[in-house]
Amino acid sequence: MGIWESIRVALRALFANKMRSVLTMLGIIIGVMAVILLVSIGSGVQDEVTGSIQGMGSNLMFVMPGKIEMSGGGSPQGQLVNRLTMDHVRLLQRAESPNFGPVVPGIEGTGKLTYRGKTHTPILIMGTAPNYFAMRSWPAAAGRTFNRSEEDGARKVVVLGRKVYDELFEGRKAIGETVRVTGQPFLVIGVADEKGAMMGQDQDDMVFIPTTAAKRLFGIENLSWITIEARGEDKAQAAKDDVKRILGRELRDDEFSVIGQEELTGALGSILGIMTAMLAGLAGISLLVGGIGIMNIMLVSVTERTREIGIRKAVGAKMSNILIQFIIEAVALSVVGGSIGIAIGVGGALAIDEFLPTAITPWSIMLAFGFSAAVGVFFGVYPAFKAARLEPIEALRYE
């Protein structure tokens, strides 16, 4: 019997027991669907985080307090000792390095924003310098951002994030109005353009005030971070070395860290990549369970069709014919189940994209389909071999 005839016989046997075939495929369907869904979610989150870091601006590096080691692309490690102050910002600005340009301080805190009885809380309050907005390519959608004189004079002026503006002012004019930031009056001078989320933080749900005003508002002197822009991608490493050398004059190695965008992207990408692989591995377990189900059903099928096997062998069917037939049946179950699982997985990923970032990758589809086919072959071999080894006389006597 030829291969096409074996396929025809195998498919006819599967269609003869439709409900059993469907239930057998269910494990493969769920496994393939889970692989595609979980890998799509993991890849989507990874792409969004990477895009968010790149969206901060170009050629940026960050001076963070304490010792942070992005060891082996893994998670940041080290102890936090915050000694960053405006003196270090001025030290970097006076250096006039040919490798880096603007130096921007940052102070972050949380509080509440109140306007005419409406309260928005909790809210991220960011104290920074006027050139922060240019560095981030983040213009004002209305009004303006604060200037150098307002920074130097610690003026109580505020630029609202888009979401904050929408919730408090509901489309009304905000420029020139006074809001209370953690109980203190601040003059609204601008509304920032819509920016979206970055690393889980909604950038439109924050407000910006001068660094000097933030120091008084929170009663602190230390900075949360310092952002520095290199003068080109080719000078990023040299700029990083310059920053370490300059700050090293006043700070110990364990009191500050300089992290480039590439390091941050690589570290977080590595963590998310491992998580994606783990999710795919967990989903793969259900494929193995589905494979065991296929083997069980194929063993039942061999038992039920013992007399049929005996008749076929009695009229001249070879051991290889029986072996191929039952392997084809197992592979057909896994391939059809895998195809249905792919369709459901892709459709589910597209639907979930409305709520969670997803990225359907061709390799995850090929991996899931290939693995499902391999499961069919692997778990179909034993039942097929058992059927092929049956002696015609014993098979014909079976009741």
**76: nearest Cα among 86, 88, 89, 62:** 62
pLDDT class of 335 with cuts at 50, 70, 90: confident
Output the CA–CA distances (angstroms, integers) from residue 125 to 33, 128, 182, 211, 251, in the order listed.
42, 10, 9, 10, 27
Q: What pLDDT was estimated at residue 73?
A: 46
Exposed e or buried b per residue across 362-371, where buried means at least 16 C-beta atoms within 10 angstroms of its C-beta? eebbebbbeb
Distance separating alpha carbons of residues 135 and 265, to the nearest angstrom: 19
Q: Name which residue leads in pLDDT, 91 or 25.
A: 91
Q: What is the mean pLDDT of residues 146-154?
A: 93
pLDDT class of 129 with cuts at 50, 70, 90: very high
Q: What pLDDT was estimated at residue 267?
A: 64
Strands 118-128 and 100-115: antiparallel
Domain ranges across the chain: 3-50+268-397, 102-229
Q: What is the mean pLDDT of residues 378-394?
A: 71
Q: What pLDDT was estimated at residue 113?
A: 93
**187: nearest Cα among 199, 178, 200:** 178
Q: What pLDDT was estimated at residue 265?
A: 66
Angle between helices 362-388 and 18-54 (to 10 degrees): 150
Least confident of 40-49, 184-193, 227-236: 40-49
Distance separating alpha carbons of residues 268 and 56, to the nearest angstrom: 15
Residue-wise pLDDT for 28-61, tens only, equals 888 888 888 888 887 887 777 666 666 565 688 8
pTM for the predicted model, two decimal places: 0.64
Angle between helices 261-304 and 306-314 (to 10 degrees): 70
What 3-state class would DSSP assign to 65?
strand
Residue-wise pLDDT for 53-104, tens only, equals 665 656 888 898 888 766 544 444 445 668 899 999 999 989 888 999 889 9
Q: What pLDDT was estimated at residue 75?
A: 46
Q: Name which residue leads in pLDDT, 6 or 262.
A: 262
Distance separating alpha carbons of residues 37 and 365, to the nearest angstrom: 10
Q: What is the mean pLDDT of residues 174-195?
A: 93
Asked whether residue 293 carries a pLDDT value surpassing 60, the answer given is yes
Q: What pLDDT was estimated at residue 54?
A: 60
Distance separating alpha carbons of residues 40 and 3, to the nearest angstrom: 37
Share of the chain above pLDDT 90, in %: 29
Residue-wise pLDDT for 159-183, tens only, equals 999 999 999 998 899 999 999 999 9
Q: What pLDDT was estimated at residue 53?
A: 62
How confident is the prediction for the chain on average, in pLDDT?
A: 81
34 phi/psi in degrees, rounded to 5: -65, -40
Fill in the amino acid letter for 175: I
Q: Name which residue leads in pLDDT, 280 or 140.
A: 140
